Amino acid sequence: MGYYKYAQEQYEQPKDNLDEVWRQRLIEWRQQGAVERVEGPTRIPKARQLGYKAKQGFVTVRARISRGGSKRKRPANGRRPAAYGQNRYSPKKSKRVIAEERVSKKYENMEVLNSYWVAEDGQHKWFEVLLVDPDHPQIQSDDDINWITDNRDRAERGLTPASRESRGLKNRGKGAEKSRPSGNANDGRNK
């Protein structure tokens, strides 16, 4: 077995396999900011699987997202307290999609290629987001990745793999008729 195979196995049960390393990482990451640029991917096999290359134009960013449901905006008009409907709502987007959007907002000149989970504790989840600079000559001359130069604002438009999954586009066949082209496009149809 090659190196990548061993490295991939380590992350199948990270708490057990990486015991001390895992603990040290979490201690360090908790003290860092919510969006941090990192030198290289923590999970190299996973990153390469998703299209990462160790060359100029590729950037890895780690994002920290709070766990749990989201609180909705307080209604403008009066309600009795039970009907306020603020708590116990889960967002339609996954935590991974939210991480991609936050990173994309901070790094405006980059495009989100993909992302993957790296760690979690009781309060937070950490994701690493792979970014590509569409204007970099190395990217424009690489036939494997230069398609991204024509696909701008992927995270905002819900075109990354995590976003497509949240939008229900992985579901096919019976029961998935109204998920395409989008949920909004189908709201007014067939009523």
CATH superfamily of 26-72+84-171: Ribosomal protein L15 (3.40.1120.10)
Is the dihedral angle over the CA atoms 167, 172, 176, 180 positive or is it negative? positive
Rounded to an integer, what distance in angstroms lies between the CA atom of residue 163 and that of residue 68? 19
pLDDT of residue 70: 81
Instruction: Write down the pTM of the prediction.
Output: 0.87
- The structure tokens 């987007």 sit at 93
| Residue numbers in the chain where pLDDT is lower than 70 | 1, 188-191
Say if residue 137 is exposed, middle or buried (CB neighbours under 10 Å; 0-12, 13-18, 19+): exposed
Name the average pLDDT for the chain: 90
Q: Nearest to residue 129, comparing CAs of 57, 41, 54?
A: 41
pLDDT at 189: 60
